[in-house]
Amino acid sequence: MNDTAVLLLAGGVGSRLNILVSLRAKPAVPFGGIYRIIDFTLSNIAKAGFTNVAVLTQYKPLSLMDHIGDGSAWDLSGRFRSIKILPPKTGESEWDWYKGTADAVRQNVNFIAAEGYKNVLILSGDHVYHMDYRSMLQFHLEHGAKVTISVLKVPWEETHQFGTAVVDSQFRIMEWEEKSPRSRSNLASMGVYIFDRDYLVRLLESSKEEDFGYNLVPRAVQEGTVFAYPFDGYWRDVGTLQAYWDANMDIVKTNSGLNPESWGTMTNLNATGIPYDRPPIKIAQGSNIINSAVSPGCTISGKVENSVLSPGVVIEKGASVKDSILMHDTVIRERASVERCIIDKYVVIGRESDIGRGDYTMANHSFPEHLNTGLTLIGKEAFIPENVTIGTNCIIHSKVEATDFLTRRISNGQWRKPSEERGWSMSARPESIGHVVKVYKRELQNTFSTKILFWSSPAEAPRMVGPSDTDSLDHNFFTSCLGRPG
């Protein structure tokens, strides 16, 4: 496979995943317990025996770069094997940030032109699937194709989300429709392309068009010799929160077709302090695990049903988790309930809190196109205090703390952000009396009509303080702790 260059496109924003991609690139989003989304494409590359790989990054690439490392987790490091990270060539007069898939490849045309490659395999890093690229390459060569695009049949109601191919009996593409509202074919592009190297270079150099689906593929179809490679295995575009949740749930379904273990999917066990290499799971007496994927390092003392747990998750006694995705080192405290949630890393759900149940028909007020199917999303390092109720289609942003919850109920479709993101700064806190942080001036003013969280010391858990409790505290202390506009 030394005559084929591989370009892995991994720079997209993936904005429809909302706060899951606020701190990382879409291909770096955790998936299925111990994996990240990009692991599936990297594993396909490794198993096909390709040895020269370039990963084109752009949006928030640090987590992704750390995960890929030198490629040794996928046997892509060695004397005759390599994986390179290629960011945009910003600062150069003729280049800027990647403007599209074709523009990203054009900016790195030297990678494919410098060596004696005959073919170029172009892939996306944000799909979940298992595929033998060698069979597709053989199909490409046997048909004398200049371009081959892997396609699969999708439901007709989903065709508007994809580029689709109208083919003849030999699977030659006769017409191409990119995300048409009235597509005439349900053979959808999987984002897997094989190009004749010289033909690709000529296409890129003859125009400044920026996208494969909208620009280069239609032009290649007009020139002829473009074929569709039919694929009938498991493939999912996890570009929306619902699709991401559905694909994770496929892991715990017996006949879904998604089986990373049997596929031989590989991941990097050594990134960021060995987060996945954990001891065996601990299952306490009286706990109950039903139809779930539980990763190493988890401690289960409550009930887990139809859920996917990443390493280090803790489910305390009496807690319940159902139909949910819990990422690394999340803690569900005693008697808390979590249902139909996607919870990022290092989250704490307080005792007796109830998360994710409510009216599914009430879409999220800020992002109705992202959350409208009854999921609730909780960001990285969020802290949910005890006895809080959060409805469905809600968004709890990363790094939210207990003091951001001025009420115990977040209604269906609502959101909660850290207070400094809403324009209020940290308060002063005289340690001799106690401290109150992130208090809203507009809520307290000169009265204590609402309960707030009070710490008697930084090491202790907060407790709720209301009007009847203030006699035991210094009124001047609270007044001095009011937030100021940030």
The percent of residues above 70 in pLDDT, for the chain, comes to 83
CB distance 325 to 343 below 8 Å: yes
Q: What is the pLDDT of residues 340-357, one digit of tens each?
A: 999 999 999 999 999 999
Q: Is residue 273 over pLDDT 60?
A: no
Give tens-digit pLDDT for 118-154: 999 999 999 999 999 999 999 999 999 999 999 999 9
Q: How confident is the model at residue 424 (pLDDT cuts 50, 70, 90)?
A: very low
Mean predicted confidence (pLDDT) in 172-179: 95
The token pair at 209 is 């068009």
Which residue in this structure is represented by tokens 């296409």?
203
pLDDT beyond 50 at 44: yes
Computed over every residue of the chain, the mean pLDDT equals 85
Query: 435: which DSSP letter?
Result: B
- What strands, in cross-sheet order, belong to the sheet with 389-390? 288-290, 303-305, 320-322, 337-339, 354-355, 389-390, 409-410
319-345 core/surface letters (b: 16 or more CB in 10 A; e: else): bbbbbbbbbbbbbbbebbbbbbbbbbb
Q: Would the pLDDT of 94 be above 70?
A: no
Are the CB atoms for 256 and 250 separated by under 8 Å? yes
In this prediction, residue 91 carries a pLDDT of 53
Looking at residue 116, what is its pLDDT? 84
Spell out a b/e string for 365-374, using b for 16 or more CB atoms within 10 Å of the CB, else e.
eebeebbbbb
Query: What percent of the chain lies above the pLDDT cut of 90?
Result: 68
- Residue with the bigger pLDDT between 22 and 435: it is 22
pLDDT computed for residue 354 by the predictor? 98
155 token code pair:
């439901």
Residues 6-15 pLDDT 10s:
999 987 777 8
The structural domains of the chain, with segments of one domain joined by +, span 4-250, 278-422, 423-486
pLDDT above 70 for 461? no
In this structure, what token pair is assigned to residue 247? 């694909």
pLDDT in tens, 95-108: 567 878 888 888 88
139: tokens are 């199909």
Residue 391, φ and ψ in degrees, nearest 5 = -75, -155
Task: Specify the DSSP class assigned to residue 288.
Answer: E
Q: Does domain 4-250 have CATH number 3.40.1170.60?
A: no
Beta bridge pairs of residue 128: 236
pLDDT surpassing 80 at residue 472: no
Q: Using the 8-state DSSP alphabet, how is residue 212 labeled?
A: I
CA atoms of 216 and 209, how far apart (whole Å): 7
Whether 171 has a pLDDT exceeding 80, the answer reads yes
DSSP letter string, 122-184:
EEESSEEE---HHHHHHHHHHTT-SEEEEEEE--GGGGGGSEEEEE-TT-BEEEEEES-TT-S
- Looking at residue 95, its pLDDT comes to 56
> Which helix (H) or strand (E) element contains residue 106?
helix 101-107
Residue 379 has pLDDT above 90, yes or no: yes
For 278-422, the fitting CATH number among 3.40.50.150, 3.90.580.10, 2.160.10.10, 3.50.50.60 is 2.160.10.10
Confidence of residue 463 (pLDDT cuts 50, 70, 90): very low
* Closest listed residue to residue 104, CA positions, set 194, 15, 12, 178: 12
How much is the pLDDT for 79? 79
Alpha carbon of 4 to those of 35, 54, 138, 231, 359: distances in Å? Answer: 27, 12, 12, 21, 52
Determine contact, residues 439/425, Cβ cutoff 8 Å.
no
